[in-house]
Every structure is written in structure tokens, then in C-alpha cells.
Amino acid sequence: MFRPLLPRCGASQAARTSRLLLGLRQNARQYSIGAGAASSTIQLDIEPKHLSITKTTKPGALRKPEELVFGQTFTANSGLLPDHMLTVEWDKDNGWAAPKISPYQNLSLDPASCVFHYAFECFEGMKAYKDKSGQVRLFRPDKNMERLNKSATRIALPSFGAPAVIDLISQFAKLESRFIPDQKGYSLYLRPTMIGTQKTLGVGAPGSALLFVIASPVGPYYPTGFKAITLEATDYAVRAWPGGVGDKKLGANYAPCIVPQREAMSRGFQQNLWLFGEEGYVTEVGTMNMFVAMVDKRSGKKQLVTAPLDGTILEGVTRDSVLALARERLAPEGWEVVERKYTMQELYDASHEGRLIEAFGAGTAAIVSPVRSIHWKGENVQCGLHEHEESGEIASKMKNWIEEIQYGDIEHEWSYKC
Amino acid sequence: MFRPLLPRCGASQAARTSRLLLGLRQNARQYSIGAGAASSTIQLDIEPKHLSITKTTKPGALRKPEELVFGQTFTANSGLLPDHMLTVEWDKDNGWAAPKISPYQNLSLDPASCVFHYAFECFEGMKAYKDKSGQVRLFRPDKNMERLNKSATRIALPSFGAPAVIDLISQFAKLESRFIPDQKGYSLYLRPTMIGTQKTLGVGAPGSALLFVIASPVGPYYPTGFKAITLEATDYAVRAWPGGVGDKKLGANYAPCIVPQREAMSRGFQQNLWLFGEEGYVTEVGTMNMFVAMVDKRSGKKQLVTAPLDGTILEGVTRDSVLALARERLAPEGWEVVERKYTMQELYDASHEGRLIEAFGAGTAAIVSPVRSIHWKGENVQCGLHEHEESGEIASKMKNWIEEIQYGDIEHEWSYKC
């Protein structure tokens, strides 16, 4: 039987699509082929129909919804981890192996595995929601999978067929649906992760990898309603750089952010705001994209502004959703929706001239996170909220609009039924 | 008994030194204290005298020296991994636990461990050498430990007392001395690594960590003598930037380098040369520091030039050694030894005007790696070697000077007897 060489790493979407169109489905028998002579020409994609499921014999207890807080530390039997995990192994000779859902368990890895030394790791953050009828839903999983493929390819990890992994994540979420609380605002946080597992101390492209998905039930980021955050502008450390990897969801982008974040917290601010360059361009807030609503000085028009995808900004799914909803629903009300570079000085001027309407971060964890003030050059620059106000109008609208899609209150193409 | 709060993360060297001077040695009994009420005020440092050693019952076979090549893939019983590993656990309540030498084994980690998601990982590369009398030696281990502490602190991992870890690494190297070949050029590559092990999907400072040391016998980088490498200048991707973490030995700095390196190789070059900025500043070559010897246009003097430690350059131990030896032994011969920024255009001009004498990379793996040419703007810029020459005079001298210290042929303060 003729088996063509199927390119993996860096395979273009076109190549992948044509492969799918050609119906190059792999059958189970092929997985039995070892590292034999011909195996280097066989590259299997992830195949959901080969999924094997081994259910736990010790189902875990559930936490009360009110105890679910994002970012908690997991401990054994904490009720913060579902019973199972999804894994798919890859190696360069055989491609992707059969997917497995197994009881949640430790990973056993050689200490020379390249993930421990050279940060061969990338991930996604997404959630599964339960609608009123109990149907489990995902929110724009195609965007997460597209980004995970981009992240993986950038660090020489393998890419995969996105529909296959969405299918697998759906099956996984449904299997764990008892961990998804019914209430609005609650969800099952899903963490698809890919790591390089090759055992070598040489710095090179990993010859083996593991894609795994774990999950954790989470409550609303703001259980008692919005609480506007205060920021400290960071100009002494730089998160990302043109030509760097700041637009990819790589582990490499996160560890270096902790110290500046902790510095900001030590001075009483909740998050840090990343500035870039001598001009002081506003880029991201902590681990969220940043949005600002202000009146443009020259035109007098209301603008919703966010930094452009110039390679230094994470391509946030929530960012993209906010922009799309703003263009659809705010533009008709006279808002200009603009992706452009903007500086901290511009925010300062807008604040002092009464033109700064509101500011908020956008990300999967909180959806939107209203900003009260930004500490910059010794001053707390006020971002448009009145003293007893915890959110601006746009942030509130966006949260409602996005949640009603996520929880299936309205039917929308962004909501994916598992 | 009064036990003061001993600061860990970011503890200044002064604080650490004064602590050591005060004789705040911890005794074994303290390790039995669990996560009790008072434990948050107790922070133990690494204590070599508490080392426990569990020897393997299945000592591995040795490889023939000629089969030892740097960067090989490890497989079971390949003879490329010694029998044991050194581990020290840390948690924020208790500090460092008792060190252990155990049979080499997999790490068993929760898939939510922060090392897999946010690149909480840093490492060192160093070697153990055997001198003519069979004495095991390290080369400037204080520099490696100083850098590992800096790297760890930058990503909110714990710091440690450097002399303690040098002591432990010495004991480990001696235990594995049968894996250190006798021949010159051979050594036991040592890989101290620190990873964050906290189980959480929240992005924050790890509350637990693991320091481990593994090793692998390696042969000379150039077993049959120098072979000059060809480079491709990379200007489309950036390794490091001001305010970033490019001067730390973090995993985060490595995975993003693979694709540009692979691109260079796909076009027939051995390594890539990282340029920075519109000016095209020369920074590093692959994973080595870069040195250039040239005649200065204005003064007519011979200069050995390398980029300064401005935050974008790894603080290489070999770099530091080359600079020190050059100042001691080349300066009296009329060489100027200069740490300054220099551009690719400057190298291009020097090459075309016959002023470029030689260029080489410097790092632990190869010591020095002579450079034949750099592909830049469509041209192979020649770096001073004649057609049949594989190394310049300085690179050859440096290799010999550094090796005679590493192998104890001459006594030198840089050589540390285990």
C-alpha cells in the first residue's frame, strides 16, 4: 500500500486541508508499525475514532460551586481536578498515536526530557459551559486550536488537525460534565498543553511530544460582580519584542512575567501593565489584552482602541470577540473600533482632559476586567470610572454579550455544541 | 529555639553571606517539621551534610569514548547516562529539603505542574574532568552557581547557597567518576536544572520547586581537530531584547531559537548568528557567545571584540574566561580586549578591507568554535581563515589555555578539585 509522506511540522493549512479532503484517514492497523525501515515516511494525524477511554474506578468528590476560584492550587482530592485527562503522543517517525482518555495521573518523564530544559511547551486556555438544557458547549474552539498550532510550530513542536482535537476535547468535556456547575458564570476550565518529551541535552527540534488536556472547574472571576483593578505600568522590564514570540501562547512568555507582576502587587496594585519602547506603547495588562474607550482628540469621536497584532501582542480569542462584537454592535452607535498603537502619554492626556471613558483587560479567565487606574510616573492615572463604579458600560455589555453566547442563551456560531 | 525568618527568593549575596557567617546551620531534626503553624517562618538552605545516597543495584555499561558525541539522544542503557541523579526539593514553607543522590529515574509530576505550562525552569551547563592523577575537577563552578541563582531569582524560583551545591555536585561527580573518560577532551557533562513543581493553573510564583543534576559523558566537540563553521545571520527573528531575560539561562530562551537555527541549516549553514536591531548588532552565535579579532580601522590596533553584558547577552563562563585570558596573555602582545557593541556592517567592512583576523563562538560544549564565514545580505562574509585553515591563532590558543586548566595540566584557581 502506498503511503505518501505527510508533512507535519509547519504543514500549511492548505496542505492539511487537501490531505483531509483526499480522505487520507489512517486505520488502526498502522499504529502497530514500529520504528521499522519504512516508518520514517509515515506521519499519522490525530484520529478521534481511535480514542480509547479508561474510566477511573475512584470518581472524585465535587466541590461546592462557591468554593471554585480561578487559579487555586490543586491538591489530592481537592475536587478541583476532574477524574480524567486526555493524552495523545507524537513522535517524528510515526506521527500522532491513538488518543487516550485515562484516569488523571502524574506524567512520568525522563529528567533529560527537553521540556524541562528548553521550554518546549505551549498551551491554550478555554472553557466548557453548560447551557440551560444541560448541553455542554465550547466557545470558539477553532480559534484556540488555530493558535495552538501556531504556537507549536514556532517552537518546532508538531502541528495537528484542529477538527480532530476539537472533537476529542468535546468528548472529554462531556465525559467530565458532572464537574461543570449549572450556574451561569461557572465553567470547566480546559488546558490543552503540548510538551516536547525527547530525552536529550542537545538543543534541537524535539523528536517526540505529548499533547495533553487537563481541566478544572472554575467559578466566576468576579463572584460578587465586577471589582475594578488598579494597575502599575511596567517600563523597566519588557514582555515581548518585534521578531520575538510574544504573540504565541508559549510557556516561555509567562515565567519571566512573575517578578514584575509581584513587584506591582507589593506596591498595592493588582496587576502590571506592560509598556513597550521609549514611546511607552501600551501592550498588555498582566496576562490579558488591553482595551481603552476614549474620545479622540482630533475627531471628537468615541473610539474603542486596542493594540494591533504586530507580533508583540497575544492573539487573544476574547480580544477578537470583543473587537467583532464592538464592530457589529457599537459601531452603529457611533463608536470607532480601532486596532492601533497607543501610548501611556495618550491615556494620561485623555484622562486629564476628561476624554478617557473606560479601560478593561480581556481574556478567557475573566472575559473582561475593568481598570480603575494606572500608576505611571508617580501618578495614578484615572481611567474613567466614578468612585463607586466598578465597571464601564462597554465592559459590562461585553461580558453580557459574550456570556449569553457562551452559555447558549442565544444561538451563535461561536458556540460549539459538544 | 529562636529561628529567624531567612529570606530566600531574591536574597542578596550580602544577606546570604552574613547568614553563613552567623553559622545558621540547620540540623536534621528541623526537616521533620511539616506544614505546621510556625513553619512559614522557617526557611532551610541546602545542607550537604544531610545528603543521602542510594546507590543503584544495576550499574550501567560504559560506552567506548569514541562513541561519545555531544547532544546525543538518550535511550535506555545507552551508556550515555550515569547511574544516578542528584535531587533537592524546595517548598515555600520549609525551604530546601535534604539532598538525595538516587538511581537515575523518571520524574513523576502532576500534569498541572507549573513547569509544563509557564516555563518555570532554568539550568546550567558545566563539566567534570579527570586529571592525569585521576582527580575529578570542575571548571569555575562558582560562576555557574552564581548564574543559576540569578536565573532562578528572575523567574521567582528559589535561590540557594552556592558553596553547598558545588559541594553536592562534587560528590555526585566523584560518585560517577567511572563515567568520566581519562582522555583529554573528554568529560562528564553536568546539567544542574531547577524547575517549578507547584500544581496550579494560576500564573504565579511557584510554591514548590526541584533542583536536580543529571549528567552525560561527552567526547570532544571536534574529535578530529577544529572544523570551522559557517553561519547565517538571522535578522527576521530576535533572540533577546533590552528589559527581557536573554542574559539568564532560562529554558524560555531556547525553544524559540530552534526554528531560526533549522532555517539556517536548511540553507546549508551550521549555525545562525543573532543580530539585533536596525543597526544589525552582532549578539550571539547559536547558543554561544561570539568573539571577533580584527584590526581597528582608526587606531590600526589589533582588537579582540565581544558584545557587552547589556542584558541581551548570556553571561557565558567561557566568555568570561576568554576575556580574562586575553587580558592576561594577549594584551601584553599588543591586543586590545574590548567589550563593546559591534555591527554586522563593521564585520563586512573589516572582511572586505582585510582587517578581519578571525571569529569564533565560545561556550561550554565546544570551548571555542572557529567561524569560517557569515552569510549576510546574500553574501558569505569571510572571517579571516585561509581556505584550508580550520581555526585562527586566538581560538587555538584559547582552547589549549582553557583545557590545560580544566584538565589540571597546570594549577589554576579556576580548577576546582572535587
Cβ distance of A109 and B112 shorter than 8 Å: no
| Interchain contact A416–B (C-beta under 8 A) | no
In 3D, which of A241, A125, A131 has the Cα closest to residue A186? A131
Q: Is A199 exposed, middle or buried (0-12, 13-18, 19+ CB in 10 A)?
A: buried
pLDDT digit string, tens, across residues B377-413: 999 999 999 999 999 999 999 999 999 999 999 999 9
**Is A260 a residue whose pLDDT tops 90?**
yes
In the structure grid, which three cell numbers stand for residue B2, read together? 529562636
**For chain A, what is the total number of helices (H) and then of strands (E)?**
8, 20
pLDDT band for A45, please (50, 70, 90 cuts): very high
DSSP lists the bridge partners of residue B230 as: B373
Q: Do residue A243 and residue A213 come from a single domain?
A: no
pLDDT value for B78:
66
**Is A3 a residue whose pLDDT tops 70?**
no
Contacts of B250 in chain A (CB under 8 A): 119, 252, 255-256
Cβ distance of B71 and A119 shorter than 8 Å: no
In the structure grid, which three cell numbers stand for residue B259, read together? 526554528
Q: What is the mean pLDDT of chain B?
A: 88
Q: What is the mean pLDDT of chain A?
A: 88
Q: Which of B218, B253, B273 is the last residue of a domain?
A: B218
pLDDT value for A278:
94
Q: Do residue A276 and residue A237 come from a single domain?
A: yes
Q: Do residue A62 and residue A199 come from a single domain?
A: yes
Residues 144-163 of A with CB under 8 A from B: 153-156
Asked if A101 and A85 touch (Cβ cutoff 8 Å), the reply is: yes
| Interchain contact B198–A (C-beta under 8 A) | yes
pLDDT value for A68:
78
| Interchain contact B276–A (C-beta under 8 A) | no
CATH of the domain at B59: 3.30.470.10
Q: Is the dihedral of CA A114, A117, A121, A125 positive or negative?
A: positive
Please state the rounded mean pLDDT for residues B5-11. Answer: 35
Least confident of B34-43, B161-170, B319-328: B34-43
Cβ distance of A119 and B73 shorter than 8 Å: no
Q: Which of B218, B238, B254 is the last residue of a domain?
A: B218
Ranges of beta strands (E only) in B297-396 are: 302-306, 336-339, 356-363, 367-376, 379-382
The C-alpha angle with vertex B370 and arms to B368 and B371, in degrees rounded to 5, equals 135
Cβ distance of A244 and B258 shorter than 8 Å: no
What's the pTM?
A: 0.90
Contacts of A214 in chain B (CB under 8 A): 111-112
Q: Do residue A104 and residue A235 come from a single domain?
A: no
Residue of B282 and B43 predicted with greater confidence: B282
pLDDT digit string, tens, across residues A147-204: 999 999 999 999 999 999 999 999 999 999 999 988 889 999 999 999 999 998 888 9
pLDDT band for A221, please (50, 70, 90 cuts): confident
- Nearest neighbour of B201 by CB, restricted to A111, A189, A261: A189
Q: Do residue A129 and residue A56 come from a single domain?
A: yes
Residues 378-397 of A with CB under 8 A from B: none
Query: Integer distance in angstroms from the first to the last C-alpha of chain B?
Result: 35
pLDDT band for A6, please (50, 70, 90 cuts): very low
Asked if B236 and B277 touch (Cβ cutoff 8 Å), the reply is: no
CA–CA distance, A234 with A254 (Å, rounded to integer): 15
Among residues of chain A, what percentage have pLDDT more than 90? 78
Cβ distance of A200 and B70 shorter than 8 Å: no
Helix (H, G, I), strand (E, B) or coil at B51: coil
CATH of the domain at A267: 3.20.10.10
CA–CA distance, A268 with A284 (Å, rounded to integer): 19
Please state the rounded mean pLDDT for residues B79-98. Answer: 92
Q: Do residue A311 and residue A283 come from a single domain?
A: yes
In the structure grid, which three cell numbers stand for residue A367, read together? 472575559
pLDDT digit string, tens, across residues A368-401: 999 999 999 999 999 999 999 999 999 999 999 9
Domain hosting B140: range is 48-218
pLDDT band for A25, please (50, 70, 90 cuts): very low
Least confident of A38-42, A373-377, B279-283, B326-330: A38-42
Strands B136-139 and B126-130: what pairing? Answer: antiparallel
pLDDT band for A36, please (50, 70, 90 cuts): very low
- Nearest neighbour of A155 by CB, restricted to B73, B207, B258: B258
pLDDT value for B77:
57
pLDDT band for A72, please (50, 70, 90 cuts): low
In 3D, which of B303, B285, B294 has the Cα closest to residue B230? B285
Q: Do residue B79 and residue B196 come from a single domain?
A: yes
Q: Which of A218, A252, A271 is the last residue of a domain?
A: A218
Secondary element (H or E) of residue A166? helix A162-175
CA–CA distance, A336 with A298 (Å, rounded to integer): 13
Contacts of B287 in chain A (CB under 8 A): 203
Question: What residues contact residue B265 under an 8 Å CB cut-off, 6+ apart?
Answer: none
Q: Residue B375 to residues A392, A395, B289, B344: CA-CA distances in angstroms?
A: 54, 51, 18, 10
Number of domains in chain B: 2
Q: Do residue A148 and residue A270 come from a single domain?
A: no
pLDDT value for A135:
97
Which residue out of B78, B80, B93, B118 would a mutagenesis test of the A interface target, given it has the greatest number of A Cβ atoms within 10 Å? B118
Please state the rounded mean pLDDT for residues A239-243. Answer: 95
Q: From the CA of A349, how many Å to the nearest CA of chain B? A: 26
Q: Is the dihedral of CA B346, B347, B353, B358 positive or negative?
A: positive
Least confident of A334-338, B28-32, B358-362, B398-402: B28-32
Among residues of chain A, what percentage have pLDDT more than 70? 88
In 3D, which of A254, A219, A404 has the Cα closest to residue A321? A404
DSSP lists the bridge partners of residue B192 as: B213
Cβ distance of A155 and B207 shorter than 8 Å: no
Q: Do residue A300 and residue A198 come from a single domain?
A: no
Cβ distance of A111 and B214 shorter than 8 Å: yes
Contacts of A210 in chain B (CB under 8 A): none
CA–CA distance, B236 with B266 (Å, rounded to integer): 16
Q: From the CA of A84, how many Å to the nearest CA of chain B? A: 11
Q: Do residue B236 and residue B345 come from a single domain?
A: yes
Q: Do residue B134 and residue B235 come from a single domain?
A: no
pLDDT value for B60:
85
Asked if A106 and A164 touch (Cβ cutoff 8 Å), the reply is: no
